[in-house]
């Protein structure tokens, strides 16, 4: 083969690889959005499984109640996403700690998070931010949001088990 042809192929391959990091960042956002939607739906299933009468149930006195676990899980999403816009997080509160109001609040918080994440740019995801936990990239903030949600949802599942309720099958 002529060396010109190999050179053109090599140049084309290098150009394709040079564009890979930008593609990967866009893909990361799509993956986060997919899992954030799944997490919303699964979290709402778990929250719906607890009977209304047990929303104030605590495994031990110092722990949060079931309603407080679900509320905290939802409130903190605003804090994890605040560095992207330099806003002060203002997650608000559910109208009450009853089941209907907590479910509505959790859904609203997830929907707001999904909306915010859908508008992030690759540059925002790769940028480093100052947060209450120290310096983190946008990707780390998104991973922290997902991890925190999983942590508190798993805690809520233990509350269900203590009440003799088998939690919904895990969804990823």
Query: Does residue 76 fall inside a structural domain?
Result: yes
Using CA atoms, how far apart are residues 155 and 161, in angstroms rounded to an integer?
A: 10
Domain containing 55 — which CATH number?
1.20.120.450
pLDDT attached to residue 9:
47
Domain count, the chain: 1
Using CA atoms, how far apart are residues 117 and 114, in angstroms rounded to an integer?
A: 5
Check if the beta carbon of residue 159 is closer than 8 Å to that of residue 50. Answer: yes
pLDDT attached to residue 8:
47
Query: Does residue 168 fall inside a structural domain?
Result: no
Instruction: Tell me the whole-structure pTM to 2 decimals.
Output: 0.83
Query: Does residue 112 fall inside a structural domain?
Result: yes
Cα→Cα distances 4→1, 8, 12, 13, Å: 8, 6, 12, 14
Query: Does residue 143 fall inside a structural domain?
Result: yes
- Structural domain that includes position 41: 25-162
Query: Does residue 144 fall inside a structural domain?
Result: yes
pLDDT attached to residue 4:
46
pLDDT attached to residue 85:
93
Using CA atoms, how far apart are residues 146 and 69, in angstroms rounded to an integer?
A: 15
Question: Which tokens belong to 24?
Answer: 């990967």
pLDDT attached to residue 91:
94
Cα→Cα distances 106→24, 44, 60, 148, Å: 30, 7, 23, 14
Query: Does residue 1 fall inside a structural domain?
Result: no
SS (H, E, C) 64-100: CCHHHHHHHHHHHHHHHHHHHCCCCCCCCCCCCCCHH
pLDDT attached to residue 19:
52
Query: Does residue 12 fall inside a structural domain?
Result: no
Among the residues of the chain, which ranges form H helices? 3-18, 20-49, 66-81, 99-118, 122-126, 138-162
Query: Does residue 119 fall inside a structural domain?
Result: yes
Task: Please report, in tens digits, the pLDDT of each residue of the chain (172 residues total).
Answer: 444 444 444 444 444 445 545 555 448 999 999 999 999 999 999 999 999 999 999 999 999 999 999 999 999 999 999 999 988 999 999 999 999 999 999 999 999 999 999 999 999 999 999 988 899 999 999 999 999 999 999 999 999 999 999 999 999 8
């Amino acid at each position: 083969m002529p060396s010109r042809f190999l050179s053109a192929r090599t140049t084309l391959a290098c150009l394709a690889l040079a564009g890979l990091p930008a593609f990967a960042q866009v893909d990361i956002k799509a993956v986060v959005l997919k899992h954030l939607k799944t997490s919303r739906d699964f979290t709402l299933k778990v929250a719906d499984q607890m009977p209304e009468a047990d929303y104030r149930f605590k495994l031990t006195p110092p722990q949060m109640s079931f309603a407080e676990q679900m509320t905290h899980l939802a409130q903190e999403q605003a804090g994890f996403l605040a560095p992207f816009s330099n806003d002060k997080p203002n997650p608000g509160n559910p109208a009450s700690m009853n089941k209907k109001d907590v479910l509505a609040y959790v859904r609203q918080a997830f929907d707001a998070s999904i909306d915010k994440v859908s508008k992030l740019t690759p540059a925002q995801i790769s940028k480093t931010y100052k947060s209450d936990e120290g310096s983190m990239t946008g990707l780390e903030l998104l991973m922290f949001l997902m991890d925190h949600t999983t942590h508190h949802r798993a805690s809520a599942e233990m509350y269900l088990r203590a009440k003799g309720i088998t939690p919904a099958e895990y969804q990823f």
